Amino acid sequence: MKDLVLYNKNNNQFDLFLYIIFISMMISSKYNSSIKINVIRRKINQYTNWNIYIIFINHILINVFGINNLLISKFIANNSFNIMLLFHSFLIYDPRVLFETIDGEPFVLNKFIKNKNISASTLLRCEYMICNVIFHILPVYFYRDTLIHYRSHDDTISMFLYTIFFKFMWALNIFGDFNITSIYVPTFEFCNVKLINMIVVFDYLLDKTLMALT
């Protein structure tokens, strides 16, 4: 089947892909309350995980159905690079924004490492770094060719409009408003207006920079 993969820039196909993702968000939001474990209920709808979901769906489209839409790949590459840069920006800005979570302890490592000499905060930081590689760095690595040839994939569509729309749809469907900091990082000092403005400017500059450099 891989030999039959066709590259295309079908805009309707790309729009349909996004519509399906948005509908999936609505369904997830509706039934999310049925998950009894608080940590899983919150983590399953994190923005990073939604990026992983669309990567998985695109993998199925390419390898099962032989559909390789360059616009979908371009969107995922941009979104993945966007996530990686934002995560490491927060890491540089103030690591406590990431490590002082409302859980206060690691989600996985504490179940495998029982050494009392290793604190929960150390395990939490190690867990974040492992997750950083898996959920932030590897997606960028897998879509590195798309980033390198970003402009040639399609130079007529401003992808930042789609990444911003995707973020806003995620926030409205998962949280019901734009107050995402209240659940993710309660100690984050930016108000929502500043955060939203920063995201819009960041998405715009990233897309324009990638277009200019490639």
Residue 162, classified by CB atoms within 10 Å of its CB into exposed (0-12), middle (13-18) or buried (19+), is: buried
Domain-located, residue 105:
no
Q: Give residue-wise pLDDT tens across range 114-159.
A: 656 666 667 777 777 888 898 999 999 999 999 999 998 777 788 9
> Which residue range forms the structural domain that includes residue 164?
2-93+138-213
Domain-located, residue 164:
yes
Cα atoms in the Cβ-side hemisphere of radius 13 Å centred on 15:
4
The amino acid at residue 42 is R
Element (H, E) at 68: strand 67-69
Q: What is the pTM of this model?
A: 0.84
Domain-located, residue 170:
yes
Give the pLDDT mean for 21-30. 90
Domain-located, residue 129:
no
The amino acid at residue 163 is T
Residues near 89 by beta carbon (within 8 Å), at least 6 away in sequence: none
Q: How many domains does the chain have?
A: 1
User: At residue 185, does pLDDT exceed 70?
Assistant: no
Domain-located, residue 130:
no
Average pLDDT, the chain: 80
Decide which of 190 and 69 is more confident.
69
Q: Give residue-wise pLDDT tens across range 6-25.
A: 578 888 899 999 999 999 99
Q: Which of 3-17, 23-37, 47-61 has the lowest mean pLDDT?
A: 3-17
pLDDT for res 196 = 80
Domain-located, residue 106:
no
User: At residue 180, does pLDDT exceed 50?
Assistant: yes
Domain-located, residue 132:
no
Domain-located, residue 116:
no
| C-beta separation of 127 from 110 below 8 A | no
